[in-house]
Structure 1
């Protein structure tokens, strides 16, 4: 049974309607059907309902304590290698299959969205470093950190070329969709033991202070501030496709107003959803262009 069948086959009780079924059936938000089902199924888990309200304030308290620790001991032990091995172990051991699936999709889709923008700004030659993991092993190779660096380097290199070559990002009459995958992404089955119970939001909230602990204060701030670039990527894409009516759902707003690290976990979930929605919109436009 596919992920979508979980909701497609769900009975509808008019006296007790399922809120996640309503959101799944709603078509106003562009979203891959399988990913949408996986995410909403994950949202309806007992972990998110009962554990998240308890663990979220504890995780945010740890962020505050670790910030104080970094101030007092600025040269404390840090290691991206150790961090990513802890993340890999945590994802393999505790995170639910649906949550791991959504995390790996994010790297895959994010790389495709950046390449789509590069391919549709004529005259630029920005070197890309696509991340397309299909299982958890690449996490050990600094996957999360490289993802953040890719985003910053893309924005910097793209805009430098635009400035130097005096290029204007404008609507393209025929879009280049070579970067956009419309077929199912070949992500392998995720670990499914009894310990794999943490939903996506709870897992991210728990991993955020771990991320902070193992990184330098500068690296952690850079990582959290990268979430503010959602609006930047959305605006670039909207200029290229000539339509910005789907940008209202981007919640990590003005890139010139960096937020504190305290709500980084919640904002990271919004970042993932923004990427899913943007990619789904591009797939939709690709199919329309092919049909015409």
Structure 2
């Protein structure tokens, strides 16, 4: 259509913020939009994405010949925390901390509402420092543990759902700490994927990537437990039996975080309001 026939000049960002189909609180939507509008997202992300994919592929190939652990998990944690404190915007760091809490809430909701023989998980960091101590590895393992605990269990809607502990406590992304750069979350994920690949064994790295394919499994379980098809609308068609790890990891991690936020927000709404 020719410009002279255009009746308005709508903003993509305003439309996203106004989209009534997004179940998140408007303040959280605004935080995500602001993060996506950072200069680093426009100018650095495309290059960081390409650089990360090439380097991770090369490291993985070399590790097939030299399969020892190249970096301790403790060193990986320290390196990532240093990077987050100095080069990543506080809002992006808050979104990252928040994801760990949100995913734990979803895992525990499933544990509390099924006969799964497993204790609720406790990974609910509220500070940047809380992302250390193997939090990334533990967060992936929790997904596997709950699914394994459901083996042989009949997943069905209980008579009464337990919506307890769906709160997200106040989070401290260390806004007081001066940053040399203020990278967006997607650029940060691309760069942090490199030390993850270096520190994790090939099997650990493969397990971490494959955990993202269980998003559809969790959405299906939530749909069954709540008798609510809304969760099924957010599926990607990622079959857990499709064992392909040659994927764009940072992109899938970002989508995984959004899916968790959508599912969590819908659970909170079903529970009767904010918690």
Q: How does 1:184-199 map to 2 (within 5 A)?
A: 185-191=169-175, 193-199=178-184
One of 202, 222, 232 as aligned partner of 2:207: 222
- Note if 1:276 corresponds to 2:269: no
RMSD, aligned α-carbons: 1.9
Contact 2:97-2:173 within 8 A present in 1 as well: no
SS in 1 for 2:171: coil
User: In structure 1, which of residues 145, 169, 186 is the aligned counterpart of residue 137 of structure 2?
Assistant: 145
- Residue 125 of structure 2 corresponds to which residue in structure 1? 133
Gaps of 5+ in 2: 1-6
**What is the alpha-carbon distance in structure 2 between the residues aligned to residue 32 and residue 276 of structure 1?**
10
Aligned match for 1:174, one of 160, 179, 189: 160
1:1-292 alignment to 2 at 5 Å?
15-121=8-114, 123-159=115-151, 163=152, 167-181=153-167, 185-191=169-175, 193-251=178-236, 253-287=238-272
Could you tell me how far 1:173 is from its partner in structure 2?
4.4
Q: Deviations over 1:193-227 (max 9, x none)?
A: 34241101111011112210111111111100100
Q: Distance in 2 between matches of 1:287 and 1:47?
A: 38
| Residue segments in structure 1 that go unaligned for 5+ positions in a row | 1-13
CA distance in 2, matches of 1:100, 1:252: 29
Contact in 2 for aligned 1:113/1:179 (Cα 8 Å): no
2:246 and 2:82 map into 1 onto residues whose CA distance is 24
Aligned length: 267
Range with bigger deviation, 88-97 or 30-39? 30-39
TM-score, length-scaled by structure 2: 0.91
Q: Distance in 2 between matches of 1:172 and 1:77?
A: 47
- Give the corresponding residue for 1:10: none
8 Å CA contact 1:97, 1:196 repeated in 2 = no
